[in-house]
Each structure stands twice: as C-alpha cells, then as structure tokens.
Amino acid sequence: MVSTQLPRILFVDDEPLWLSSWMRHLKRSKYMYQLELAATAPQAREYMSLQEVDVLVTDYNMPHVDGSRLLD
C-alpha cells in the first residue's frame, strides 16, 4: 500500500520574520508538504513528541537551546 500522507516539515526559529518568510516562500512551491512552525525549542520538542516530522529546519542560535540540541 502506498502512503498518501504528505511529508511534514517543521521550521523552528525564534525570529517571526524568518518563519513567515519561509512559509510564504514554500507555499508558492509546486511540491506538496505539510508545513509546521515553532518559535521556540520547547515548542518544537512538544510538537515532535506528538507528531512524526520528516524534515526539521532549525535556527542554530536561539535562546536557551541551540538548534542542534533539538536532534538529541
């Protein structure tokens, strides 16, 4: 059976301008995927504890937790 679920991409950045920029740009793409946004590392961790994520795009320099720690 072939999965029809769209790939899920989670963007994590503490700067709202970057998040909205990514969202605008990717919504114009011809590819289909589900976009999710998180403004903090704790928000991202909470989301990932509830949903499987196919791609994680994260800011490295964020308050309290750098982006690479989200992969732990």
In a domain, 23, yes or no: yes
In a domain, 27, yes or no: yes
Q: Which residues in the chain show pLDDT less than 70?
A: 1-3
Q: Specify the CATH number for the domain of residue 33.
A: 3.40.50.2300
Q: Are strands 55-58 and 8-12 parallel, antiparallel or unpaired?
A: parallel
- The structural domain count of the chain equals 1
Per-residue pLDDT at 28 = 82
In a domain, 62, yes or no: yes
Per-residue pLDDT at 3 = 61
Domain that holds residue 13: 8-71
In a domain, 51, yes or no: yes
Burial of residue 59 (CB within 10 Å: 0-12, 13-18, 19+) is middle
In a domain, 65, yes or no: yes
In a domain, 3, yes or no: no
In a domain, 15, yes or no: yes
